[in-house]
Structure formats: structure tokens, C-alpha cells
Structure 1
Amino acid sequence: MTPQQLDPVSVAIALASVLFGPALASIIGPYAVIIISSTVGAAWALGRREPGARLGAAWYFLRLNATAVLITVGLAGVTGRWLGVEDHSWLLAPIALLVGGVGDDWPRVGRWVLLRVARLFERRVGGGGGGAA
């Protein structure tokens, strides 16, 4: 007997197969997990913002969910290869949660990543201070 998978994506696919059939479930299930996870992350991020209009909050959720839908699968693939795992579907939920949770701080995160990459590059090149004038 094959053990059942209880990760969020497998459960979402099983539920979606009841509603939409197995052919669509393999597509709808993972994206449902991405949207639910990014919505939870966005709710945490929204708590860090100043209170505003409801329409602004709805736009915030829509923006973060759309971002998560567009980049989560790619990030999960890259992360899965980096970790050396073949099936990276279990990474969809935590990555989408992270995408939503970062919220409006993405420019700051981008600057932090660029700074780290620049430092790594500087170390590999050798510091760059030994050229002749």
C-alpha cells in the first residue's frame, strides 16, 4: 500500500479532483496552495502597515497574491535544485507564505540580496584593491 501524501499540495490536488476532475486538479491544486499561503503571509504583512482604506487592503492582497502566483513556482524550482530534491512541490506553500509575508518590503530585501551578492563577488575577485596606477 502506498503511503498517502499529506503535504498541502497533495491535499489541494485531492480536493480539487473531487470538484474539477483529475486533469484540472493537478493545475488548480498547486495554485490554490500558492494563493492561500500568500494570502496568509499578506495578512501578516498587512498587520505591519498603518491602517488604511479597505480598498487599499484589497489592492494589497491582490498585488501580493499576483506576485506569488507569478514567482513561487520558479523560486520553488530553483530552491529545489539547490537543495537537491526532485519533487519541489512541497516548497510552494512556504515560499508563497514568504512572498506574501515580505509584503511591501521587497525593495529592501532586493537591496539586501544585491549587497550580499556584491560582497560575495568582491571576496571571490580578491577585494579589488591591488591594481597599479
Structure 2
Amino acid sequence: MNQLEPTNVAIALASVLFGPALAGVIGPYAVILIASTVGAAWALGRRDPSARLGAAGYFLRLNATALLITAGLSTLAGGWLGFEETNWMLAPIALLVGGIGDDWPRLARWVFERLGRILERRAGGDGGAT
């Protein structure tokens, strides 16, 4: 724990409050929760003001999503990028998960369109152009 990054700081603080046995679990999830809350706040700012009445449910939904998928995404991204240690990626990924907000379906369509184009190019297709 020689790097000053959010996860290590959270683990150090959690070890003081909860002891070293729990700190390794509580610290990373505290970072995910804080980062996804900040991202959700940015996403909430993009919503229609009349829809902001359900802000607590919105934050709960985005934070729960981040708590469930951030560690896995961090591991996948770290493996793809060749990093052995991926704890430092928890905060930025959770921030993105929260910040995307209700735009997940639009993001998924965009990703699938890009993947389709890449696969089409690799297969030698011309996309219907004559």
C-alpha cells in the first residue's frame, strides 16, 4: 500500500475504523459508492427538472449498479490493458457508471454499432455500398 490513490486511502481509513480484517473489503466498496454518487450527481443534472423528484431512487439505482459491476469491469479492463493491479481503476469506472446515468441503452446501441462496423470491415463487407 505504497501508492496514494483513492482505494488505498479508503482501506487505510477503514482499517482505523473497522480493523484490518474488514478494511480490505469496506475500503474498495466505499470508493465505488463515493465515486458512483459523484457520477450520479452529474447524471442527475442532465435530467429534466420535473423528473428530479425521484432523485433518491435514481441515486440508489445507479449506486447499486456501480456496486454490482464496477469490480468486474475493473478486472476486465485491467486484464485487457495488461495491468495486474486494478484497484486504482475502481474510482474512475464507478464514476463513469454513475455518470452514464440513464444513458446506458444509448451507450449500448453506440457500442454495438461500432462493433458491427469493425466486424464488417474485418469480414471484408462494404456496408451495402455499391
TM-score normalised per structure 1? 0.90
Matching residue of 1:36: 34
Matching residue of 2:87: 89
Structure 1, unmatched stretches of 5+, are none
Structure 2, unmatched stretches of 5+, are none
Q: Tell me, what secondary structure is at the counterpart of 1:115?
A: helix
Deviation for aligned residue 1:15: 0.4
User: Are the structure 2 counterparts of residues 57 and 14 from structure 1 closer, same or farther at C-alpha, using a change threshold of 3 Å?
Assistant: same
Deviation for aligned residue 1:51: 1.6
Matching residue of 1:111: 109
Shifted more, 118-127 versus 10-19: the winner is: 118-127
Across the aligned residues of Structure 1 and Structure 2, the Cα RMSD in angstroms comes to 1.6
Shifted more, 44-53 versus 15-24: the winner is: 44-53
Matching residue of 2:18: 20
Matching residue of 1:45: 43
Q: Larger C-alpha radius of gyration, 1 or 2?
A: 1
Task: For 1:54 and 1:127, locate their aligned partners in 2 and report how far apart those are by CA, in whole Å.
Answer: 45
Deviation for aligned residue 1:83: 1.1
Q: Tell me, what secondary structure is at the counterpart of 2:46?
A: coil
Deviation for aligned residue 1:4: 3.0
Answer yes or no: is the 8 Å Cα contact 2:74–2:90 preserved in 1. Answer: yes
Matching residue of 2:66: 68
Over residues 54-109 of structure 1, what are the superposed CA-to-partner deviations in whole Å (9 max), with x where a residue is unaligned? 65000000000001011101110111011111001000000000000010000000
Task: For 2:51 and 2:13, locate their aligned partners in 1 and report how far apart those are by CA, in whole Å.
Answer: 35
- Number of aligned residue pairs: 127
Tell me the percent identity.
Answer: 72
Deviation for aligned residue 1:124: 1.3
Q: Which amino acid counterpart does residue 26 of structure 2 have in structure 1?
A: I
User: Are the structure 2 counterparts of residues 12 and 121 from structure 1 closer, same or farther at C-alpha, using a change threshold of 3 Å?
Assistant: same
Task: For 1:23 and 1:52, locate their aligned partners in 2 and report how far apart those are by CA, in whole Å.
Answer: 45
Q: Tell me, what secondary structure is at the counterpart of 1:47?
A: helix
